[in-house]
Structure 1
Amino acid sequence: MALSRGFRCCQRIFSWIPVIIITSVVLWSYYAYVFELCLFTLSNTLEKAAYLLVFHACFVMFLWTYWKSIFTPPSTPGKKFHLSYSDKERYDKEDRPDVQKHILMEVAKKLPIFTRTTSGAIRFCDRCQLLKPDRCHHCSVCETCVLKMDHHCPWVNNCVGFSNYKFFLLFLTYSMLYCVFIAATVFRYFLKFWSGELPNVQAKFHVLFLMFVALMFFLSLMFLFGYHCWLVTKNRSTLEAFSAPIFQTGPDKNGFNLGFRRNLIQVFGDERKLWFLPVFTSLGDGHFFPMRTQSESRNPLLGNEEQWDEDGGSDEESPAIQRDPSVTIHIES
């Protein structure tokens, strides 16, 4: 037991190494750009002021989005999706898979669950002892189930999911802008140092490395950013891109695809003025999502929407569910 705790403690410490590396590179880039380039190399006051103004705007937005990506806790399923004491006791005592499947099916009738396992059973997490909401997956690193899990990112030491996916996208966006601005403004002085027109040896070292590091990070971020932009337009997570969600009618990689505009709104919200700020504006509460067709509304597992509201009336998340029109589920009588 003590050995296991020691291993987990070391694992948590080492998991911060990628974040420390990124932070160190960014802090060095700040010193190299602000001091070595702008204050010690540039002679034109107007050019110096313009560079510093735009640079600090990009720097602040980068740090803000990076902070939010790291320290926003992953959203986990609410109490409604956990097995009650009696249901858990019945489930644990039962050894026959078919009967266990039937128990989970009974519990799921009160919940808005549409996705299944490959065998058609209710998705259940043995470690968290809960029924998984649609698009929810268990993260072995965070040791918890995460709503609309996309992936676990070592560079932010956090799970990217419903609670912080917008922040992660903005982090990629402002990281690219930060690199592009540095590369574009440093390029002229990079050529001058390379050709020997500027004699400052210390500044030359920083400017040369600034150029190479900015281009290297930009190229790596460009592919990752482009991939996630494609995911947003298709309303898929990284996990869903590799393994299509399974519905009552079978696997459907476009099951949550609502069209380009509505897919964007699902992630960024209705207020466009807040799209580029790292404040939470995503629609819904992460427990269920509107689907491409209403054919899934016939899923007998949903049972009765009124029963779902009544059973969860005391939960803090119920008002959010009732207010959000994008997650209304139509039940056919």
Structure 2
Amino acid sequence: MASVSSNWRFHLENNFYLSSSDKERYEKEFNQERQQEILRRTARDLPISTLSAARTIRYCERCQLIKPDRAHHCSACDICVLKMDHHCPWVNNCVGFSNYKFFLLFLLYSLLYCLFVATTVLQCFIKFWTNELSATRAKFHVLFLFFVSTMFFISVLSLFSYHCWLVGKNRTTIESFRAPTFSYGPDGNGFSLGCSKNWRQVFGDEKKYWLLPIFSSLGDGCSFPTRLVGMDPEQASVSNQNEYARSIGSNQPFPVKPLSESKNRLLDSESQWLENGSEESTVRSGL
């Protein structure tokens, strides 16, 4: 069975774990709101931007830690995996932050190998159909090898193409089925920084290492830049308003970030409103 590097568990900083006193209070507390208050107090200084679907702090009861963004608990491995993508039974391992690049390269190498085998055996396959292949015991093996390599090539190609699409969108398999929830609501593109930057998040800045089985992913696996980081306040406000508009149809209004200071001053200025109103009435009278 093939394997992918299993060094996916990076050491979490201690501040993701509750202190002994907070942990004791949390376990003794049966009120969920008070439990959340304990978690919010601990998570206040953590680089966390996502919440659970119920808009609460994501806490793993099994591992007893506050989950970093994009981390999930794997029931098969019984551990929280950073930027968990999925648990792959074919490699008998969890695919996450520190081995996702290796998983993609594993698919690429397998794809090229299947293509090499299929094209190599193709000549013998053609000779079989034209009755040019001598009747030997190897005939069945050659045909079987061609069909198997072709089938695996098609299946691996579909899986590899899907994960390339995920990399371009900066999503995990889990996030493609269930969008992460931010303070303004669910957003499947919340971590997308643009196609080029998304690829560099996985493969790194050094292109010479992209096709080599060397860890070169950016970040520490505990915090990730979001698409709102780097925007000016006006762009961030427009983006959040679009998220709000998309949520109206599902009867789930999400809070929108406040407008930029320049817009607030404009709205608060009574004289500006009066001036604009007089200009508008003048234009209408001219028409």
- Please state which band the TM-score falls in when normalised by the shorter chain: 0.7 to 0.9
Identity of aligned residues (%): 59
Pick closer, same or farther for the CA change 1:71–1:92 going to 2, 3 Å: closer
Correspondence 1:289-308 to 2 at 5 A: 289-294=224-229
Q: 2:204 matched to 1:251? A: no
Q: 2:37 matched to 1:113? A: no
Report the equivalent of 1:202: 137
Q: Distance in 2 between matches of 1:70 and 1:221?
A: 19
Q: CA deviation digits over 1:236-262, x for unaligned, max 9?
A: 000000011001111111100000110
Report the equivalent of 2:261: none
- From 205, 208, 211, the equivalent of 1:273 is 208
Q: Distance in 2 between matches of 1:295 and 1:265?
A: 17
Report the equivalent of 2:276: none
Q: 2:64 matched to 1:129? A: yes
Instruction: Report deviation, 1:185.
Output: 1.7
Q: 2:223 matched to 1:288? A: yes
Instruction: Report deviation, 1:200.
Output: 5.5
Q: Distance in 1 between matches of 2:230 and 2:106?
A: 37
194-203 or 256-265, larger mean C-alpha shift: 194-203
Conserved? CA contact 1:231–1:238, under 8 Å: yes
Conserved? CA contact 1:124–1:132, under 8 Å: yes
Instruction: Report deviation, 1:71.
Output: 3.7
User: Any idea what SS the aligned residue of 1:201 has?
Assistant: coil
Higher relative contact order, chain-length normalized (CA < 8 Å, sep 6+): 1
Q: CA deviation digits over 1:14-59, x for unaligned, max 9?
A: xxxxx3xxxxxxxxxxxxxxxxxxxxxxxxxxxxxxxxxxxxxxxx
Instruction: Report deviation, 1:297.
Output: 12
TM-score by length of 2: 0.77
How large is the RMSD of aligned CA atoms in angstroms? 1.9
Q: CA deviation digits over 1:179-219, x for unaligned, max 9?
A: 11111121011122344423252321221111000111011
Report the equivalent of 2:243: none
By percentage of residues, which structure has more helix?
1
Instruction: Report deviation, 1:233.
Output: 0.3
TM-score by length of 1: 0.67
Q: Distance in 2 between matches of 1:295 and 1:248?
A: 17
Q: Distance in 2 between matches of 1:294 and 1:137?
A: 23
Conserved? CA contact 2:5–2:102, under 8 Å: no
